[in-house]
Each structure stands twice: as structure tokens, then as C-alpha cells.
Amino acid sequence: MTKINTVLGPISPEQMGPTLMHEHMVLAYPGWDADALCEHLEFSELAKICADAFGEVKQYGVKTVVDASPNDLWRNVELDRIVAEKTGLNIICATGMYYEGEGMPAYLKFRSQVMDIVTELYETFMHEITVGIGKTGIKAGAIKVATSHGAITPYEEKVLKAAAKAQKETGVPILTHTQQGTMGPEQAALLISEGADAKKIVIGHMCGNANLEYQMSVIDKGVCVGFDRWGIDFLFPDNLRRATVLGLLGLGFADRIVLSQDCNAKILGRPLVMPDFIQPLIANWSYTHIFKNIIPQLKQAGVTAAQVNQMLVENPRRIFGG
């Protein structure tokens, strides 16, 4: 029987239940801690903030949350474990690397001058999936990769190739980040050409593109698409996300869509004050937005409970469990 790695140990696919497929515990861009005036919270305080925020989803029946933070975006699996213990949620953490522009590529780009970093990345991903992350004993249950806006850089191509190789051997899903929904077909094609299983690939942030022809060019690869940035209206408005998902559901693709919000409980660094014009554009952004607002709106438009269950329960279970 397939077992799924969570931060508290393996579970069966049947234990996943309603699942948020793409969230983050915290957001911390590389270099945040080099800011002399950044805010440094005690670990226990940070854990409480995250547990309180994540705990809210339980009232909506959520049982599993995927923390899609890659290795170089302040992934903290000890924090994941504490939050899982405090909330009772299944939390799945990832191994992987972020896109070149906002990740930490310097070390690997330096090594790539003389070393095969596809192999080195593959070895890292495999170790974290099969042995554990650092000395924690926590095993990654997914692989996270990302590409740039309108391009896959040579560095990112190497990351994707390593991810495909590790996915082929371990069977864990690959979750991707696209910049505003660009490069989705190219991501899928590259991963599949390198041996990844299309049924275990989620092309993320596809809700940043309202073109149904473009959506179909990704779905036709056999992969799933992530409508996973609900509430971030300054990047792309929810009304267009809603129209796009309604179009895909109308075409019969409930079995190819997963839902989430790409939210975080805390942004690390100096306190961040958003401009006044952005405030209303993120007013609904939270771990519970799809339950409070989006799903009721979809149902008003004719989406059935079975379709919602397909996107929240059946698709994640199939992607992780086969």
C-alpha cells in the first residue's frame, strides 16, 4: 500500500481527506536576516502564530496541508512538525528549489562550473525523501520546482531534470511554481520528457492565466493544474480565476484541478506595510478564503458538491496515492 510522507510520519491516502495542495508556513526571501532591522521572533512565538493560522482550516474539514516551501525559501520542517502536533493536521513538506530570480542559486551555479549539479540535486532530493531532512528524520512528501516569467533558465532546467529523476524513482508528486501562469506547458513537457509521471505533476499558479486555450495546452499533457492563489487579487483577480475554473469544470475537468491559496502565516524580516491601494486586493487572502468565499460562489454558479469534493479530496488523494 502506498504511504505518504508527512512531518509526523507516513499516512495512507485514505487519511488525507480534504487537502490544501499549495500553502506555506512562512514566507522568507533569501537575505531577510541580513537586514539589521529585521524582526526576530522566538521560535515558540512563531510556532504559535502558524498553529493559530493553520488551525482555522479544521473547522472547514481540512485534514491535510501541503507546505510547498522549497529548500531555499526558508523551509523549516521543525516548525511544520510543531504545527502538525498542535493542530492535528497532516502536514506534508517538500524538497526542491525555487526559481532562479528569487531563490538561492549561487552555490549550485558555482558548482555547475565543474560538477554535475543535476546529479547533486537528484541526490539531495532522494536523500530528503527516503532518509530525511537534516537530522530531523522528517521525510519530504513532495518535490517543489519553479521557473521564471516567460522562460526556463538553464539553472531551472537542471532543477526540473533532477526533480523528474527523483519523482520517477520515488513516486512522490512534483508541485511547480509558475510566474503568473507562464511556462506551464513547457514545465510539463520537460518533466515528462525526463521520465516524470504526468499523473503526479501539478502545474501550479495556473489560475494566473484566464485563457482556456492555454489551460488546455497544459491539461492535454496529462497533468493537473493548480488553482492555488485565491485571494491574491493584486496579482490576478479572483473573478477571472473563478471564470476560468468554471470554464474548465464546464468542460469536464474537475478531475484535473486542485485548490489552494498560496498563503503564509508570517512574512519574516522587517515589518512590511503594504501600500493603501493593495490592502483591498489582499483583504480576503487567508488559509480559509476558498471555504468562506470561493466555494460558495462556485456553488451559486452551478458547481456541484461532487465537483468540489473531486478537487479537494479525490484529486489530492490520487496525486499522492496513485
pLDDT score, position 48 = 97
Helix (H, G, I), strand (E, B) or coil at 42: coil
Residues 209-230 as b/e (b if ≥16 CB within 10 A, e otherwise) read bbeeebbbebbebebbbbbbbb
Phi-psi region of 115 (alpha: psi -120 to 50; beta: other; left: phi over 0): beta
pTM: 0.97
pLDDT score, position 52 = 97
Mean pLDDT of the chain: 97
Q: Is the pLDDT of residue 272 over 90?
A: no
Q: Which of 97, 99, 172, 176 is nearest to 142 (CA)?
A: 172
pLDDT tens digit sequence for 180-192: 999 999 999 999 9
**Whole domain around residue 264: which residue ranges?**
4-321
Mean predicted confidence (pLDDT) in 32-60: 95
Q: Is the pLDDT of residue 280 over 80?
A: yes
Phi-psi region of 251 (alpha: psi -120 to 50; beta: other; left: phi over 0): alpha
Question: Can you say how many angstroms the Cα of residue 256 is from the centroid of all Cα atoms in its chain?
Answer: 16
Number of C-beta neighbours around residue 189 at 10 A: 16
Q: Let me know if 49 is exposed, middle or buried by CB neighbors in 10 A (0-12, 13-18, 19+).
A: middle
What CA–CA distances, in Å, run from 78 to 25, 81, 82, 91, 93? 11, 5, 6, 11, 10
pLDDT score, position 322 = 84
CATH assignment at residue 105 = 3.20.20.140
Helix (H, G, I), strand (E, B) or coil at 92: strand
pLDDT tens digit sequence for 216-268: 999 999 999 999 999 999 999 999 999 999 999 999 999 999 999 999 999 99
Rounded-to-integer distance, Cα 54 and Cα 72, Å: 22
| pLDDT-based confidence at residue 292 (cuts at 50, 70, 90) | very high
Number of domains in the chain: 1
pLDDT score, position 1 = 66
pLDDT tens digit sequence for 55-113: 999 999 999 999 999 999 999 999 999 999 999 999 999 999 999 999 999 999 999 99
Q: What are phi and psi of 206, to 5 degrees?
A: -70, -15
Handedness of CA 291, 293, 298, 299 (dihedral sign): positive
Helix (H, G, I), strand (E, B) or coil at 136: coil
Rounded-to-integer distance, Cα 70 and Cα 67, Å: 9
